[in-house]
Chain A
Amino acid sequence: MQTIPSPFIFSGGIHPSYNKELSSASPIRELPLPARLVVPLSQHLGAPAKPIVKPGDTVKAGQLIAEQNGFISAPVHAPAAGKIAALEETLTASGRSCGAIIIETDSAQEWSLLPTFSAWQTADKKELLNQIGVAGIVGMGGAGFPTRVKLSPPTDKPIDTLILNGAECEPYLTADHRLMLECTKEIRIGAEIVRHILGAKTLRIAVEDNKPDAIAALEKAFQDIDGDVAITVLKTSYPQGSEKQQIYSVTGRQVPRGGLPMDVGCVVENVSTAYAVYDAVLKGRPLVRRVVSVTGDAIHTPSNLLVPSGTLYGDLVAACGGVKGKAAKVISGGPMMGFAVSSLTVPTGKTTSGLLLFSSSKVSCFTSQACISCGRCVDACPMRLTPSELSQFIESDDVDGAEKISLMDCIECGSCAFVCPAHRPLVHHMRRGKAIVMAKRSKKP
């Protein structure tokens, strides 16, 4: 095991002010159990889960309440014991509505756990994979792609490298950072289980160089590991945590257009996902809680909380001492890729990494102007697209034109909008254009 600087660096990217010191020193603490949980059925990419409980049922913590509905889908478990109060629609952080199961929690928290695999080293890979699927584990970095699917690549795509993603390149967020400091051993076991399932020879742990304490903790935890394992120290740059950029920084391989990491023999898993794998395989606990950073300049005590899925944002704010002054903007997730939310009655899910509250001094209400063709967005785009041109195509409702110049390769990282001197809402245009293209594609037979 050794620590190496990243051999490559992706093109483009930006250097926003990170402001991680607000919450990076605050240890993870468990949120007092809220009286009411609103558990969304769609906490992952793919088809929403199908509820199997009805109002009036009592459930144990960890009990299956909604089953997987299709190949790309994931089951949902009760985050806490209690009574099912209702099944209703809820608005999620991404602005869409989806079904949700409302649980009124009770004080005696009885768990219903899955069978465990204490000897996972010798366990059948299929059984371990099944356990990960049954536990409802999804990629916790943000996209929420079901981990079971990610870890079962077709046989003609052998995986030789597993990258453990601890970059956490979004400003403000410190959830993964704290997890790497406090649960390093568990992350190591989770990573080893994933490596065992994939049969990957190489393991790389990718961490940005602005987290030296996490690198030191990982060095200690991984020192006696066998095989080709290294901690790759990435240069701090946004978006180092993005899958394709990270694969390039760590291995020098480029994921082909429209392709997946498995096309270049890589799988990238977030450190939180590795922890969830450990929790599911060794403790039998399905994925029902995660660490969420609640931070920003308009929150009283910025904290990292261990939160059951379905906790309303209002409960998180209350647990952190409430709003300091007046919050002008609330963002679910990181400031670069997160979603602005308009109410605190939105629930958290498996992919909620942070909740940010900003005062009016941090929020600027820009007026967008015409593109001055300065080309800064082209320099900043880590996917080597031309955001200026793309946005003008979409603005004039020519999404076919935008599609021709690779609109669908946009990862919506926000680097272009960050550097635009004309304050053009470039990412918003991309999201709109991509939504139109997706709608068109789904209409075609």
Chain B
Amino acid sequence: MDPIILQSTLWLGGIGLVSAIALAVADKYLSVPEDPRIGKVTGLLSGANCGGCGYAGCADYARAIVLQDAELNLCTPGGSACANAIAAFLGKAAEALEKRTALVLCCGDNAETVRRAAYNGINDCAAAQATAGGDKGCTYGCLGYGSCARVCPVNAIAISNGLAKVDKNRCIACGKCVAACPRKLIKLVPSSAVIHVLCHSKDKGPTVKKVCGTGCIGCRLCTKIADDGAIFMDGFLAVVDYTKPPTHDELIAKCPSHCIRKA
């Protein structure tokens, strides 16, 4: 046999043997025991890795649940089924989780609103907002450049005719769009609520009318129809109280500017 073959076989075999012994020793003396429950809880979570719970992904949240007693109901994509499964596994009680969904508080698309300037910059809402305060006539409404749609991990937001719309069935309520919107008009609301005031403008009625055909003019009619406080006024803007969302279908028909809609 060629000595070089023998030599290399012995060398490689020797290195392998030494490494194996080193690894075996390291495993015995240096190993850090990990709670086996962490892996199991990770498996029970949704696996979306969206970060909506506030932790850096599912594994990190699972670690926080097991080791730091984090709340069990923070996984919005998994919903209450996931929270209950984890609770059963750990022998704890999960607090009820209400399924939430993102809502864009604006219904003024290009047909209803005016643009006060022609914006020719990069396709990003924050960049448009930083250029003379945005090109939309209304300084509160959706700019429609899709920054929210681009950060959505499940493609639940679509821009149509200059307005962002959330697909309720796809939304996992991770809250990334809420953070991405420079005008702060996306809100996480209970999925059970169906009637919303789709306007975020705090301007007075005449100012709103000049720039939008469907903005809240602050007429207070809705607060009279929903007299249980389901809609209250914040200055010149009607706001839904999502602890007791309105159910009166009459609201939709009576709102003079048609900004109370089902979504």
Contact = CB atoms under 8 A, between A and B. Distances in A.
A428 B127 contact: yes
Given A365-B118, A365-B120, A425-B122, A341 B127 contact: no
B117 A340 contact: yes
A334 B2 CA distance: 80
Contacts of A368: 122
> What DSSP secondary structure best describes chain B's contact surface?
loop
Interface string B129-151: 11111110001000000000010
B121 interface: yes
Nearest to B136: A342
Most buried by A among B118, B122, B126, B135: B122
Contact of A342 (B124, B127, B135): B135
Contacts of A91: 132-133, 139
A342 B116 contact: yes
Contact of A340 (B124, B132, B150): B132
Contact of B133 (A342, A366, A432): A342
Contact of B116 (A343, A397, A435): A343
Contact of B131 (A95, A365, A397, A436): A95
Interface in A395-432: 395, 397, 425, 428-429, 431-432
A339 interface: yes
Contact of B130 (A365, A395, A425, A435): A435
Given A95-B132, A339-B132, A432 B122 contact: yes
Contacts of A121: none
Given A342-B116, A425-B121, A431 B129 contact: no
Contacts of B122: 368, 395, 425, 428-429, 432
A436 B133 CA distance: 17
Contacts of A126: none
A342 B121 contact: no
Interface string A340-356: 11110000000000000
B129 A95 contact: yes
A109 interface: no
Contacts of A339: 131-132
A200 B117 CA distance: 48
Interface residues of B, number: 18
B133 A431 contact: no
Interface string B147-168: 0001000000000000000000
Nearest to A368: B122
Contacts of A257: none
Interface string A88-101: 00010111110000
A326 to B, nearest CB: 13
A365 B120 CA distance: 7
Contacts of B127: 428, 431-432
A334 to B, nearest CB: 16
Nearest to B151: A397
Contacts of A95: 129-134
B122 to A, nearest CB: 5
Interface in B92-138: 116-118, 120-122, 124, 126-127, 129-135
15 contacts: A91-B133, A95-B129, A95-B131, A95-B132, A95-B133, A340-B131, A340-B132, A341-B132, A366-B120, A429-B122, A431-B127, A431-B130, A432-B124, A432-B130, A436-B126
Interface of B: 116-118, 120-122, 124, 126-127, 129-135, 139, 150
Interface of A: 91, 93-97, 339-343, 365-366, 368, 395, 397, 425, 428-429, 431-432, 435-436
Given A97-B133, A366-B120, A435-B130, 7 more contacts: A96-B133, A340-B131, A342-B135, A368-B122, A425-B122, A429-B122, A436-B126
